[in-house]
Amino acid sequence: MLRPTTSRASFRALVATTCCAVLGAGLLAGAGTASAGQDKGTTTKAAAGSKVVGYFTEWGVYDRNYHVKNIETSGSANKLTHINYSFGNVQGGKCAMGDAYAATDKAYTADQSVDGVADTWDQPLRGNFNQLRKLKKKHPNLKVLWSFGGWTWSGGFTEAAKNPAAFAQSCYDLVENSKWADVFDGIDIDWEYPNACGLTCDTSGRDAYKKLMSAVRSKFGSGNLVTAAIPADASAGGKLDAADYAGAAQYVDWYNPMTYDYFGAWDAKGPTAPHSPLTSYTGIPKDGYNSDATIKKLKGLGIPSNKLLLGIGFYGRGWTGVTQKAPGGTATGPAAGKYEQGIDDYKVLKTKCPANGTVGGTAYAHCGNNWWSYDTPATIATKMNYKNQQGLGGTFFWELSGDTSNGELIKAIN
């Protein structure tokens, strides 16, 4: 799970960043076209493989100093089809605001604003929501979904599962609030994890997820997007077996299987392993912990290829005290990161510890006594070939601020 930078949004929301966990690889077959689902206000169908969904973190406006305007200036807005705004909270079994100041109150000066117009003290909506509204005016085809839950705020889903209709109603009322209804085109559910353990453990039962997603779709209807981040653990008896993801697939426009964070320095002494392997490789620490295994398992459950997006991490995970260049070495603990131990952005790592090896369709780097793994433009290109060969619905990534100021990684996705 991505553990975000500490900030005014608070570490809890930041840790929520790890919402997405696990990347895919392998070369199966069968590309095609499929309906993208009905976006609000349009019935246009997109070809399979065309979606590019990027997470924007609410707390990124603090320590990371990453704002909606950066999506525009980096060129990313021209590459994106959808933005997942993360995260809304889940409290008392209902959808709730995350950081209201960042979302609706923070005032932007002219030079910080997407359109060069400063906020005024008396305007009804400021903050990220108003900046997203301005971004959408510049890019009329861009859609925005509000993501709820994540690593830190998924504990509330257990209570939500007791009354799915009440949960869905609360989410609809919040997302469709008259002050910002035009900002959002749907909802994204990031429950980590149904009937399994994340930061907290859920014991709602295998059918709870299907019932909750059914209620959300019923309330939001066909005119809004409904998507979900789901686990990527394809091991026997793993998280993908804990809930009825196949049964719930009928209620979502697409799934975002978190095909990254398979491995990391939470195993402080290693063995070192790339956090987002596309395919298995000799010596991989766990079976089923690679993107291809995840995609194969989900397809095997009967979930259509066009309802599956391939996940990419715009960050790396690393260890220190490592003498072995190749994967599988021992470590003494997590490598130092700018915001947190064991994790750093691609934009930092490309210079701090340049990639000097590849394994399982992704890159790794050994510099000094540190060992990092992360995707590069070259390995993303390999993953896009896989995505196309599999006929997947597109790509999603965590998260926008990890890319360079000129959007190296999102360009590789395109």
Its pTM stands at 0.89
Going by C-alpha positions, the residue among 95, 49, 66 that lies closest to residue 188 is: 95
How far are the Cα atoms of 20, 37, 281 from residue 348, in angstroms, in the given order? 20, 37, 27
Contacts of 191 (CB under 8 A, 6+ apart): 149, 154, 157, 202, 209, 212, 228, 229
Reading phi first (left if > 0) and then psi (alpha if -120 to 50, else beta), residue 237 is in: left
How far apart are alpha carbons 125 and 133 in whole angstroms? 10
How far apart are alpha carbons 389 and 2 in whole angstroms? 28
What is the model's pLDDT at position 12? 34
How far apart are alpha carbons 86 and 56 in whole angstroms? 6
- DSSP H stretches of helix in 74-178: 100, 127-138, 157-160, 164-175
Neighbour tally for 114: CB within 10 Å: 23
Neighbour tally for 173: CB within 10 Å: 12
String of DSSP letters for 53-81: EEEEEGGGGSTT---HHHHHHTTGGGT-S
Going by C-alpha positions, the residue among 14, 118, 22, 21 that lies closest to residue 66 is: 14
Q: What angle do CA 401, 406, 408 make, to 5 degrees?
A: 80
Cis? peptide before 314, omega within 30° of 0: no
How far apart are alpha carbons 315 and 350 in whole angstroms? 10
- Report whether 405 contacts 306 (CB < 8 A): no
Instruction: List the domain boundaries for the chain.
Output: 11-313+377-413
Report which residue type is found at 158.
T
What is the model's pLDDT at position 414? 87
Going by C-alpha positions, the residue among 258, 246, 249 that lies closest to residue 198 is: 258
pLDDT per residue as tens, the chain (414 positions): 443 333 333 333 333 333 333 333 333 333 333 333 334 433 333 344 789 999 999 999 999 999 999 999 999 999 999 999 999 999 999 999 999 999 999 999 999 999 999 999 999 999 999 999 999 999 999 999 999 999 999 999 999 999 999 999 999 999 999 999 999 999 999 999 999 999 999 999 999 999 999 999 999 999 999 999 999 999 999 999 999 999 999 999 999 999 999 999 999 999 999 999 999 999 999 999 999 999 999 999 999 999 999 999 999 999 999 999 999 999 999 999 999 999 999 999 999 999 999 999 999 999 999 999 999 999 999 999 999 999 999 999 999 999 999 999 999 998
| Active site residues per annotation | 192
How far are the Cα atoms of 12, 232, 329, 340 from residue 267, in angstroms, in the given order? 21, 18, 12, 15
For domain 11-313+377-413, give the fold.
TIM Barrel (3.20.20)
